């Protein structure tokens, strides 16, 4: 028995030495991000402000009863999707969960179409039949909002498989949250993506509370950048409140995928100011905690400070940007309020028979 044990141990050591070295999680959140140019800061400011103002208006309209069903706001997390989008190339696909309005706007989808879908009108991007969680645009390479927790991860992996099969050089960006990171289908996707070296960046938007439970109470491994280690998938933690840090990490990850090295994981350490959805009072955290995040880490205020300081823009310059954004959002709200509802015959379209 002792001899057999020794042989087995020796065999395991030999097999172990033949295996590829496990991927390491790389911590970069404290590194200094690359500086933006003036134009890049202005662009980031405008795009994040558009998402912020849109979501504020959506919350207002929900309170007025103009938006029904579920509504998950992206306020506080704007730097994640804007920074990622700045690193992408035309043709790269985006897929996400149900906190999706910001992703759509960052992809360039029409604010009127997004808002009209929230109110269930004909001019909505899903003809008023999808609502907040289910919009889609082939033109903008946006493959949904998805209401099932974690479902978009396997679909995003499928998009990456199509890219790999077609050898088109495109990369799939699959967003999901810290809560969805514990889903089994996520790890099945990780395994397949690494096995076939699929070009997919898994972006874990860790806003700390999932649907209302702190990550420290729900996850045995709270460093989500390490979730791919057993599959040899590299990952890194990123300051998801700094659009520059996000853009830097996105460029590294996307290039890794484009070079044919397989998937990459980015844990975006971010924060949502509102509850999980409009029906969530968020009593699991203190108001002081939220206020501290707003005052010390707000992604838009960080860019605003640089614009006023290093780039010497004036308050009037920034007010003009805000006025332009508010006009876009107000026009979208007006359209979404008065556009007709879908004809009842739409119930029989876009379905499999």
Of 162, 107, 99, the closest CA to residue 138 belongs to 107
Distances (CA, A) of 92 to 160, 167, 169: 10, 13, 9
Residues 6 or more apart in contact with residue 193 via CB below 8 angstroms: 157, 160, 200, 231, 233, 262, 263
Integer Cα distance of 350 and 260 in angstroms = 36
Residue 13: the pLDDT is: 41
How do the pLDDT tens digits run along the chain, 353 residues long?
343 434 434 444 443 333 344 455 554 545 799 999 999 999 999 999 999 999 999 999 999 999 999 999 999 999 999 999 999 999 999 999 999 999 999 999 999 999 999 999 999 999 999 999 999 999 999 999 999 999 999 999 999 999 999 999 999 999 999 999 999 999 999 999 999 999 999 999 999 999 999 999 999 999 999 999 999 999 999 999 999 999 999 999 999 999 999 999 999 999 999 999 999 999 999 999 999 999 999 999 999 999 999 999 999 999 999 999 999 999 999 999 999 999 999 989 988 87
Phi (first) and psi of residue 213, to 5 degrees: -120, 130
Q: Are 300 and 45 in contact (CB under 8 A)?
A: yes
Element (H, E) at 177: strand 172-177
Integer Cα distance of 34 and 245 in angstroms = 7
Residue 26: the pLDDT is: 53
Domains (range + CATH), the chain: 37-278+285-332 (3.40.50.970)
Q: Give me the residue label for tokens 């910001």.
A: 102
How many Cβ atoms sit within 10 Å of the Cβ of residue 152?
27
Of 231, 159, 158, 226, the closest CA to residue 190 belongs to 231
DSSP state letters, 215-271: HHHH-S---GGGTTGGGT--EEEEETT-HHHHHHHHHHHHHHHHTT---EEEEEE--
Residue 184: the pLDDT is: 96
Residue 9: the pLDDT is: 40
Of 135, 132, 123, 70, the closest CA to residue 341 belongs to 123
Of 109, 105, 112, 149, the closest CA to residue 128 belongs to 112
Residue 352: the pLDDT is: 81
How many Cβ atoms sit within 10 Å of the Cβ of residue 235?
25
Please give the structure tokens belonging to residue 93. Answer: 């696909």
In the chain the first and final C-alpha atoms are separated, in Å, by 64
Of 96, 105, 77, the closest CA to residue 239 belongs to 77
DSSP state letters, 7-37: HHHHHHHHHHHHSPPPP-EEE-TTSPPPPPP
Residue 30 burial (C-beta neighbours within 10 Å; 0-12, 13-18, 19+): exposed
User: What length is written for the chain?
Assistant: 353
């Amino acid at each position: 028995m002792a001899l057999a044990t020794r042989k087995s141990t020796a065999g395991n050591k030999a097999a172990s030495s033949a295996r590829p070295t496990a991927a390491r999680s790389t911590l970069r959140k404290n590194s200094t991000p690359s500086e933006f140019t003036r134009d890049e800061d202005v662009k980031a400011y405008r795009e994040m402000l558009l998402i912020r103002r849109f979501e504020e208006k959506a919350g207002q309209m929900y309170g007025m009863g103009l938006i029904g069903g579920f509504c998950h706001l992206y306020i506080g997390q704007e730097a994640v999707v804007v920074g990622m989008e700045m690193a992408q190339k035309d043709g790269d696909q985006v897929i996400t969960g149900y906190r999706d309005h910001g992703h759509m706007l960052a992809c360039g989808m029409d604010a009127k179409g997004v808002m009209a879908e929230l109110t269930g009108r004909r001019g909505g991007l899903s003809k008023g039949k999808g609502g907040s969680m289910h919009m889609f645009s082939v033109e903008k390479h946006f493959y949904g909002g998805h209401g099932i927790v974690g479902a978009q991860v396997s679909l995003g992996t499928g998009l990456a498989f199509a890219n790999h099969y077609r050898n088109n050089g495109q990369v799939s960006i699959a967003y999901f949250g810290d809560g969805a990171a514990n889903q089994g289908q996520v790890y099945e996707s990780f395994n397949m993506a690494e096995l076939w070296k699929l070009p997919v960046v898994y972006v874990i938007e860790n806003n700390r509370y999932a649907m209302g439970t702190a990550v420290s109470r729900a996850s045995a491994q709270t460093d989500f950048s390490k979730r791919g280690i057993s599959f040899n998938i590299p990952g890194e933690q990123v300051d998801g409140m700094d659009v520059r840090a996000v853009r830097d990490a996105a460029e590294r990850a996307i290039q890794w995928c484009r070079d044919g090295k397989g998937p990459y994981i980015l844990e975006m350490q971010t924060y949502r100011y509102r509850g999980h959805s409009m029906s969530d009072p968020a009593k699991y955290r203190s108001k002081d905690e939220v206020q501290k995040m707003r005052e010390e880490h707000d992604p838009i205020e960080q860019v605003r400070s640089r614009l006023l300081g290093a780039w010497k823009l004036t308050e009037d310059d920034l007010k003009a940007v805000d006025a332009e954004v508010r006009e876009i959002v107000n026009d979208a709200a007006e359209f979404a309020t008065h556009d007709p509802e879908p004809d009842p015959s739409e119930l029989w379209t876009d379905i499999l028979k």
